[in-house]
A and B are shown apart, each in its own frame.
Chain A
Amino acid sequence: MLRVVNLGVEIGGRRILENVNLYIREGETLALFGPNGSGKTTLLNALIGNPSYKIVSGRVIFKKKDITSLPPDERAKMGMGISFQTPPKISGVKLIDVLKYCAKIGGYREEDIFEMAKRLKLEDHLYRAVNVGFSGGEVKRSEILQLMLMNPDFVMLDEPDSGVDLENIVLLGEAMKELLERNKKKDERKKAGIIITHQGYILDYVDADYGVVLYRGKVACMGDPADILRQIRKYGYEGCMEKCLKEI
């Protein structure tokens, strides 16, 4: 579904990603690890077409189409969806107004908006400005709510579990499981995605097919996500990297 070829990305003239290659098939979910500042968020932003992230080399192929220079709204319409790590606050634009656009993309009716908002405990936030004064956990839930309504084929989740309390992890975990069709049998899954996580809580709900470690802007290792997480917990990123390199 998604192929990233030799991707190089710059921000403000500084090189952040170098020669990143990824291949994600229909039904597959990838867990993306890496230390702070390694370029994980940069990668997702480049994939959704954030204009502040300049692609200096390589290509992004989505559903067999080269989308490297497509604007974000066209990518969204093609079935890409993202939950941001730190979305902006948009004073004046109400959550409900954004959700209406999301529902349009996902083919949902307006009634569905309220139902899903209730499920994610955001029914009281619908008429508030997007992210303005939302708590950390509310921001995460609002991001997932938007994604649920967009119902994308390719789901990108940037630390959806960071700063979320245990009860809400269950709520979000179940929602993401559905988003990525992890509740379906392996050969029936059509959706694919990338999940960035540090602690890995989310992987208890979404059993990613494989894991990738991004290190200093490069794909440093690949393997079973649970193994990688264990290595990182035990030996830190440096240790994990050493072990990875040995295996490769």
Chain B
Amino acid sequence: MPEGDINLNFESDEVERLKEVGIEFDPKRRAATFLQEDQSVKTVASFYRGVEIMSIREALKKYDWLKDYFWKALRRDQDDFTKEVDSEDFNGYFIRAPPNSKVEIPVEACLYLKKAGKQKVHNVIIAEENSELNIISGCASHRSAIGMHIGVSEIFVKKNAKLSFTMIHNWNYDVEVRPRTGIIVEDGGTYISNYILLNPVKYVQMYPTAYLNRDAKAVFSSVIVALEGSEVDVGSRAVLKGENSSAEIVSRTISKGGKIISRGHIVGEAPGVKGHLECRGLMLSENGFILAIPELEARHPNVELSHEAAVGKIAEDEIFYLMARGLSRDEATSAIVRGFMEIEIKGLPEVLKMAIDQAIQSMGEKLL
């Protein structure tokens, strides 16, 4: 295992951008770090015995069995973007928690788009049986980068393992983003996904899908802000294949002039499965757009699927209530907007919660 500092040649404003997506430069606060700029891997370091982290190319050389994990959680011909990644010139990370290992300090993986026209990534994450792993994935671009990020991620949560995957995006108006994510959660496994997008982007489109086996559980939470000029088409899908599996999908979207399509889809295929979808959208300006599309699909009589969706402006009676307590209209609005974005995320280590809270707090003030 390589040891040592996170050694980078980033300029200070780049460091700031990476910090905004939760990337820590203090090795004490991360179990392992992976940094990729454009197509080349800049840093790989594991500070904690037990977590394996390396570039996917290196991993393919090291482990013969790894190729069997390729295109297992996703179809290689799913669309033009998966096809494009299914080529020779991809890179990406491989992260693996060995059986029974428990790593509470998060592992960080950062994909940074600096000048490449296209960043093609294929990641594989494996949480082996009974392991616990927390990953924070920060994806960002240089302020002046123009291009596209296509990120294929195949995630495997083995029997009774628990994986949390927190992704914070920080792009710019010239970047188009096409993540493609498939997750297979084996019996009794838990997958927690958090997605945060608060800054401008040209276009993000993704629909990560989790396949859940017996007693497995998935929780998807996302907080999305679309500023004027941004277009976001994002959803989460859970296919409840195994008995008593469950899924919860919660999204909070805010349009401040941008376009948002917020999707959610839960498929119940086995007896005793439960799923709940919650889409809430807030319109903060005249010219925004939010389309919420919650979908529930039952393929077995003994399933319990439900959804709530609400889109609109901030409730006047809530603003008034706070004003009667002495908050100005702006303070009241900002408190409500911040509260709206603060989704309760369970099962996340404190450091990750803090990273998310900080990002949301500062955005809540900027939105006014």
Contact = CB atoms under 8 A, between A and B. Distances in A.
A73 B340 contact: no
B339 A93 contact: yes
Interface in A77-133: 77, 81-82, 84, 87-88, 90-94, 97-98, 101-102, 104-105, 129-130
A88 B318 contact: yes
B346 interface: no
Contact of B323 (A76, A84, A90, A102): A76
Given A73-B328, A73-B329, A90-B322, A52 B340 contact: no
A11 B182 CA distance: 53
Nearest to A89: B318
A93 B339 CA distance: 5
Given A76-B326, A104-B326, A105-B326, A90 B318 contact: yes
A146 interface: yes
Contacts of B322: 90, 93, 98, 101
Interface in B323-354: 323-329, 331-332, 335-336, 338-342
B339 A98 contact: no
Nearest to B332: A73
B326 A90 contact: no
Interface size range of chain B in the complex:
20 to 34
Given A71-B329, A102-B326, A105-B326, A129 B320 contact: no
B69 interface: no
A150 interface: yes
A92 B326 contact: no
B342 A92 contact: yes
Nearest to B320: A50
B317 A146 contact: no
A48 B336 contact: no
A35 interface: no
B315 interface: yes
A130 B331 CA distance: 16
A137 interface: no
Contacts of B316: 51-52
B325 A150 contact: yes
B339 A92 contact: yes
Given A51-B320, A72-B320, A88-B315, A93 B326 contact: no
Nearest to A147: B325
Main SS of chain A's interface residues? mixed
Contacts of B315: 88
A148 to B, nearest CB: 12
B336 A77 contact: no
Contacts of A75: 324
Given A92-B338, A92-B339, A76 B325 contact: yes
A150 B340 contact: no
Interface in B54-80: none
Interface in A142-200: 146, 150
A109 to B, nearest CB: 16
Contact of A90 (B321, B331, B341): B321
B326 A82 contact: no
A15 to B, nearest CB: 21
Interface residues of A, number: 31
Interface in B284-320: 315-318, 320
Nearest to B341: A92
B321 A84 contact: yes
Contacts of A77: 326
Contacts of B326: 73, 76-77, 101-102, 104-105, 150
Contacts of A102: 325-326
Nearest to A80: B324
A84 B135 CA distance: 45
A93 B336 contact: yes
Given A88-B315, A92-B338, A93-B336, A73 B321 contact: no
Given A73-B328, A104-B326, A150-B325, A129 B318 contact: no
Contacts of B340: 91-92
B345 to A, nearest CB: 13
A87 B321 contact: yes
Contacts of B336: 90, 92-93
A52 B320 CA distance: 9
Contacts of B321: 84, 87-88, 90, 130
Contact of B335 (A48, A93, A105): A93
Nearest to B339: A92
Contacts of A88: 315, 317-318, 321
Contacts of A129: 339
A242 B332 CA distance: 46
B327 to A, nearest CB: 5
A65 to B, nearest CB: 17
Given A76-B326, A93-B318, A93-B335, 11 more contacts: A48-B324, A50-B320, A72-B320, A73-B332, A76-B324, A77-B326, A81-B324, A92-B339, A92-B340, A101-B326, A102-B325
Interface of A: 48-52, 71-73, 75-77, 81-82, 84, 87-88, 90-94, 97-98, 101-102, 104-105, 129-130, 146, 150
Interface of B: 315-318, 320-329, 331-332, 335-336, 338-342
29 contacts: A48-B324, A50-B320, A51-B316, A52-B316, A72-B324, A73-B323, A73-B329, A73-B332, A76-B325, A84-B324, A87-B321, A88-B317, A88-B321, A90-B318, A90-B321, A90-B339, A92-B336, A92-B338, A92-B339, A92-B341, A93-B318, A93-B339, A98-B322, A101-B326, A101-B331, A102-B325, A102-B326, A129-B339, A146-B325
